[in-house]
Amino acid sequence: MILPPATLGMLGGGQLGRFFVSAAHEMGYKVWVLDPDPHSPAGLIADRHLVAAYEDFAALDEMAAACAAVTTEFENVPAGTLEYLAKFLPVHPSASAVAVCQNRIAEKTFLADNGIPHGPFAAIRSEDDLRNADESLFPAVLKVARFGYDGKGQARVANRDEALHAFHGFKSEACVLEKLLKLDCEVSVVLARDEAGKVRAFPAGENRHRHGILDVTIAPARVPPALAERARQVAERIAERLGYVGTLGVEFFVCAGELYVNEMAPRPHNSGHHTIDACVTSQYEQQVRALTGLPLGEPTMHSAAAMVNLLGELWYEGGHADTPQREPDWSVLHAVPGLKLHLYAKHHARPGRKMGHFTVIGPDAGKVVEAALQARGAIGIVDEGH
C-alpha cells in the first residue's frame, strides 16, 4: 500500500490526467506528469511536469527515481515505455493490457479468443486481405489499427471498392474491417479493479455520439436492468482476462437487444466524467486507489446524471474556425440548477477538440436529461438540420 504524501507518476497530460492529478492531490499525494506538450492540462497543475517524449529514457529514469508508482491516461503511450518503467516500480495498467487495447487487431482477436461478444470483423494488413474479405461484412467501417480515436482514422464503406479506396487513403496501414451494425443504442461500463482482483463497477451509461465523438452520456443508462447487468458482467470478464489493474472503460453496441463490445479503453473514460459529480467515488479516485493499493471506493450513484461534451467549435462564431476565437458565455450554464461545469484549460480551441464538459445532476432522471439537453442548446450546440 502506497500512502500519502508519496509521489505518483502520470504518463500523458490531457484532461483525464488532469482529473487524476486533482483526485490524487485531494487524497494527499504529489503527482509528476510526463507529456511532451508544455501546455498540457495535467502538467499545468502537477507538482512537476516533465516536458519530454514518452521514449525519453533520461526523463523516464527521473520519473522512476521520484515516483512510487506510475499510471497512464491514454492508450497510445508506447507499451515499451510501460515495460521499461515496470523494471523499477509498480506500473498499472500493465504494458501487456495496454498493448491489447491500443491495437484494434489485437483487441478484436482478444475478444474472439476469450468468447466475448463482438461484431463480425476481419484483420486487414494488405490489399489482398480486403479483396478476400467475406462479402457479408459489407457495408462496413474500416478503422486503422493504431492511433484512431474520436472518429479519426475511420471510414464507412458500402462495398469492397470503397474499402480499397479508404485503405489507400490510410496509406495502407493495418486496419480492421468491421461489419456496420444496426444499433438500438450504445452503452458503456467503467470499472476499477485492484491487484487482488476485486472489482467495483459504476452503473452503465448510455452514450450518444456526434461526428464520431461522444456528445452526451446519460447515467444510469435507460436500458433494461438485465442488459445493464450483462454489460457489467462482460466488462468484469474483460478486466479479469486482461489481468487488469486500474480504471477501465468498455464500450458496447446494443443491437436487437444483444450486446457487442466495440472498444476497450485502458484508462478512465469520457463516458465516466459524470462520476466526479454524481457518484460516491469518481473514476479518477478509483484510478488512484487501484494504483496505490488502497481499498477501492464505493461506486454508487447518489444522483442521476447527464454529461455533455464541449468541443472547440463552441469558441468560434457559428462553429467556423476561420472566425476570431472567443470565450463562450458560461453564465448561461452556471444559471442552470444542478449543473457542474468543468473546463480543461487547453491553450487553443479547435473544432472537434474536447475543451470541457458539463454534468447536470439531480434526483429525477427525466428532468436531469431534459435540463442537460436544454443547456446544451443554450450554450450553442446545434444539431444539423435544426
**C-alpha distances in Å from residue 163, one per residue of 48, 67, 154, 170:** 46, 46, 11, 10
Q: Which three cell numbers stand for residue 316?
A: 468560434
Nearest to 120 by CA among 130, 111, 132: 111
Of the candidates 2, 6, 64, the one whose C-alpha atom is nearest the C-alpha of residue 34 is 64
* d(C-alpha 156, C-alpha 137), whole Å: 12
What integer pLDDT is reported at residue 188 of this predicted model? 98
* 214 Cβ contact partners less than 8 Å away, ≥ 6 residues apart: 150, 207, 208, 270, 271, 309
Q: Tens of pLDDT along the chain (386 residues)?
A: 999 999 999 999 999 999 999 999 999 999 999 999 999 999 999 999 999 999 999 999 999 999 999 999 988 899 899 999 999 999 999 999 999 999 999 999 999 999 999 999 999 999 999 999 999 999 999 999 987 665 578 899 999 999 999 999 999 899 999 999 999 999 999 999 999 999 999 999 999 999 889 999 999 999 999 999 999 999 999 999 999 999 999 999 999 999 999 999 999 999 999 999 999 999 999 999 999 999 999 999 999 999 999 999 999 987 777 888 899 999 999 999 999 999 999 989 999 999 999 999 999 999 999 999 999 999 999 886 43
- pLDDT value at residue 246: 98
* Separation in Å, CA 220 to CA 248, 254, 305, 363: 17, 15, 7, 12
Cβ(20)–Cβ(10) under 8 Å?
yes
End-to-end CA distance of the chain: 54
Q: What are the cell numbers at 120?
A: 463480425
Closest CA relative to residue 48, chosen from 9, 97, 93: 9
What pLDDT does residue 320 have?
79
User: Which stretches of 196-292 are DSSP H helices?
Assistant: 225-242, 275-278, 283-292
Angle between helices 283-292 and 15-26 (to 10 degrees): 70
Host H or E run for residue 354: strand 354-362
Q: What count of residues does the chain have? A: 386
Could you tell me the maximum CA-CA distance found in the chain, to the nearest angstrom?
A: 59
The runs of H, that is alpha helices, within 71-159 are 79-86, 95-101, 104-113, 127-131
**99 alpha-carbon distance from chain centroid:** 16
- 461478444: which residue's cell? 117
What is the Cα–Cα distance from 239 to 197, expressed in whole angstroms? 9
- Domains plus CATH for the chain? 7-91 (3.40.50.20), 120-179 (3.30.1490.20), 185-378 (3.30.470.20)
The predicted model scores a pTM of: 0.95
- Cell 473546463: give the residue: 343
CB atoms inside a 10 Å sphere around CB 22: 18
* H-run or E-run covering 357: strand 354-362
Q: What sign does the CA torsion over 3, 41, 195, 230 have?
A: positive
Query: What is the pLDDT at residue 385?
Result: 44
CA–CA gap between residue 226 and residue 224 (Å, rounded): 5
Question: What pLDDT score was predicted for residue 151?
Answer: 59
Residue 193, C-alpha cell as written in the block = 479493479
54-60, Cβ contacts within 8 angstroms, sequence gap of 24 or more: 54/11, 54/78, 54/81, 55/80, 55/81, 57/84, 59/34, 60/34, 60/84, 60/85
